[in-house]
Amino acid sequence: MTITEFVVSRLNYWIYVILMMIGLFAMISKKNLIKKLIGMSIFQTAIILFYVSMGVKEESNIPILEHNIAHASDHAEASDHGQVEEIRAENYANPLPHVLMLTAIVVGVATLGVGLAVVQKIHQEFGTIEEPEILAKIKSGHG
């Protein structure tokens, strides 16, 4: 596999890894607490992207049965064509990653909410959200 092939055929993974790196870097290295939380959000979004791209199946539909397929057995005799459409696994996208990501999104929102509340509290207590300034305040005895 050549490099270009590796990049092109796995573009979705490249994008998620790059997003993840941006997020992780912001979480580790930024001094501003809100920027850290933004990094956290990007990181979590990158993971969601990874999972969702895992559930993709070419030439498949959303994992919801259409009415005529779902109730095929009820209509089989009544319909003139007499054609019963079967449920075929390759026609539907893998539903599991979507379910998992619904959970992960909710967890992400909850963590972000708590994180923002903690930053507000820090701002109330220290009057700043820059990490070095807070540490300086603690050192000088205001903490």
Partner 1 sequence: MKTLGAIAVIITGALLLYASEDFPAWGDPHSPASQYRVSQHYILKTFEETSVPNMVTAILADYRGYDTLFETVVIFTAGIAIIAILRGPIDKRVRLRLASEKKLRESNLILAQTCRLLVPIIQLFALYVIAHGHHSPGGGFQGGVIFGGSLILLAISFQLQTALDRVSEKKAILLAGVGVLIYSGIGLVCLLLGGNFLDYSILHNLLQVDPITARSHGILGVEIGVAFTVASIMFAIYANLSSRGRMKGGL
Partner 2 sequence: MVDQYPAIILLAPFFAAIAVSLFGSWKNGLCLPMAIIALGISLAASIALLGQVAAEGEIVYLLGGWSRPFGIEFRIDPLNAMLLVVVTTVALLTAVYSTQAAVLETPNKYPQFYTLFLLLVTGLLGMSLTGDAFNLYVLVEVASLTSYALIAMHSKRAVLASFNYIIMGTIGASFYLLGVGYLYIKTGSLNMVDIREILQETGLYGSKTIMVAFMLIMVGVWIKMAFFPLHGWLPNAYSYAPSSTSCILAPLMTKVTVYVMIRMMLTVFGPEYVFQYLGWSNVVVWMAVLAIVAGSIMALAQTDLKKMFSYIIVAEVGYMVGGVWLANETAFIGAFYHVISDAFMTLCLFLAAGAIITKTGKRSISEMEGLFRKMPWTMVGFVIAALSMIGIPPTCGFFSKWYLINGAIEAGHWGYVVALLFSSLINAILFFKVFEVAYFSKPSHGQEKDENQPESAGTDGVGEPPATMLAPLLITASGLLLIGIFNQDIVILIRQAVSSFGFIGFLN
* Binding site residues, partner 1, CB under 8 A: 1, 6, 9-14, 17-18, 20-21, 24-25, 28-29, 53-60, 62-67, 70, 87, 89-90, 92, 94-99, 102-103, 106-107, 109-111, 113-114, 116-118, 120-121, 124
Q: Which is nearer to partner 1, 9 or 79 (CB)?
A: 9
For the bound state, the minimum distance from the C-beta of residue 118 to partner 1, rounded and expressed in Å, comes to 6
> How many Å apart are CA 119 and CA 130, to the nearest integer?
10
For the bound state, the minimum distance from the C-beta of residue 128 to partner 2, rounded and expressed in Å, comes to 11
Applying CB under 8 A, which residues contact partner 2? 20, 24, 27, 33, 36, 40, 43-44, 47, 50-51, 54, 96-97, 100, 103-104, 107, 110-111, 114-115, 117-119, 121-122, 125-126, 134, 138, 143
End-to-end alpha-carbon separation of the chain, Å? 57
3-state DSSP assignment of residue 143 = coil
Among candidate residues 87, 19, 16, 85, the one with its CA nearest the CA of residue 56: 16
Helix (H) or strand (E) holding 15: helix 11-29
- How many CB atoms are located within 10 Å of the residue 83 CB? 8
